[in-house]
Amino acid sequence: MSSTFYIIEKTVSRFTITSPACCLLMSGVRKVFMSNKEASIIFLPSGRRGRFPHGVTLLDAARALGEPIESTCGGHLLCGKCQVRMESGAFARFGVHSSPDHVSPPTEEELRWLPSPTPLRLACNARIQGDLVVFVPEHARMHRQTIRKVAGQRTIEVVPTIHQVYVELSPPTLADRRSDWERLAAGLAEQWNLKDVRIAYPALRSLQSALREGNWRVTAIIWDESLVIEVRPGYREGIWGLAVDVGSTTMAAYLCDLQTGDLLASHAMMNPQVAYGEDLMSRISYAAQNEEGLKKLHRAVIGAFNRLAGEAARKAEIGQEDIHEAVIVGNTTMMTLFLGLDPRSLGEAPFTLAHRDAMDWPASPLKLRLHPAANIHILPAIAGHVGADNVAALLAEEPETLSQPALIIDVG
């Protein structure tokens, strides 16, 4: 006898899932035929647990429980990232006896991703055959923490707005004449539970060739779970982001690997607007009193941004057009000029801003030389002359976590 449903334990636990099995199937967990024997699976260190039929992969069990294991290829044995370790012995607190033998043996295809010898297994290729306590190492956890390498050592959680997913699609036939985009959108919904996703124009332009070149297997780069910004043939890794501080005197850029959180390169240069005035008020005056003043200041800072991005990309040995996202901070005058907005209201009380909230815009209208569908995120300002640079400092320094009052001083 076989069953097509997962059975999820209903014990009361912080992480135990109690949803009906049909919801899990609808939410993208792949349907497979399984034995009617069940096993208890406990993931550590989270403690998420549930009961699953023998034959289910550990990756599917993890997904059903909301256990965030890296799986950029979607369980196709192409990325080697879903590494887990089976614990051995009796675990009285969970009421199970766990053993590495309680999963199917590794295949040759799996072993090529793992060091030898190793206690690790790939969760997408290990099928449950008995009770298990499964440890998810730090490097295999999504949203893992990374040590920031500049401006002090600290741990940050890596949760990028952009991520990549691998999708396998069926080719069109006379009986299935869906458009290429309908086919990809359906694949994203079925295989990754990404629904109501749109496609950016630059991604649409490469969609047909990517699907055919990849034999209907593609890697999609998704922004904010809602917009496909790139489609690559086959399985290809790599998403990059740039953090830029537009200071009145100096501009600095930090290029990061958005999958690992690693800082790959940094570069700094003088803000070329200095030629139009040393301080903020003289630049506001220059913009107000010269017919082409605002245009010149705006062009100067955009040109500098592009040079910074190019230099950081060169150091990291990636293309400038590979940078998918940029986060930009600066004081309110710098951000106003960066966006090409009239700064005159910042030159006199009550110092009104054109826009105070966080913003997301495509990079292309500002002529930023990044990925053609890149997004720029601008942090919010607090008040007329308390800008996104202050917000960035607060986010980075986390004074709210300190037991004593803290003072942040930016000596510009």
Binding residues (CB under 6 A) for ligand FES: these are 71, 73, 75, 77-82, 122, 124
Smallest distance, ligand FES to C-beta of residue 252, A:
35
Smallest distance, ligand FES to C-beta of residue 21, A:
23
Helix (H, G, I), strand (E, B) or coil at 250: strand
Q: What angle do CA 172, 177, 178 make, to 5 degrees?
A: 95
Element counts in the chain: helices (H) and strands (E): 9, 21
Instruction: Pick between residue 98 and residue 191 the one whose CB is nearest to ligand FES.
Output: 191
Smallest distance, ligand FES to C-beta of residue 231, A:
19
Q: How many other C-beta atoms lie within 10 A of the C-beta of residue 301?
A: 22
Helix (H, G, I), strand (E, B) or coil at 2: strand
Token pair for 178: 């869906």
Residue 346 burial (10 A CB sphere; 0-12, 13-18, 19+)? buried
Smallest distance, ligand FES to C-beta of residue 170, A:
20
Helix (H, G, I), strand (E, B) or coil at 145: strand
CA-nearest of 43, 50, 40 to 17 is 50
Task: Assess contact for 61 and 21: CB atoms under 8 A.
Answer: no
Measured distance CA(245)–CA(229) in Å, rounded: 25
Instruction: Pick between residue 237 and residue 397 the one whose CB is nearest to ligand FES.
Output: 237
Measured distance CA(412)–CA(404) in Å, rounded: 25
Smallest distance, ligand FES to C-beta of residue 331, A:
44
Smallest distance, ligand FES to C-beta of residue 62, A:
10
Instruction: Pick between residue 74 and residue 261 the one whose CB is nearest to ligand FES.
Output: 74
Instruction: Pick between residue 55 and residue 330 the one whose CB is nearest to ligand FES.
Output: 55
Instruction: Pick between residue 103 and residue 327 the one whose CB is nearest to ligand FES.
Output: 103
Task: Assess contact for 336 and 278: CB atoms under 8 A.
Answer: no
Instruction: Pick between residue 194 and residue 312 the one whose CB is nearest to ligand FES.
Output: 194
Instruction: Pick between residue 34 and residue 82 the one whose CB is nearest to ligand FES.
Output: 82
Smallest distance, ligand FES to C-beta of residue 53, A:
20
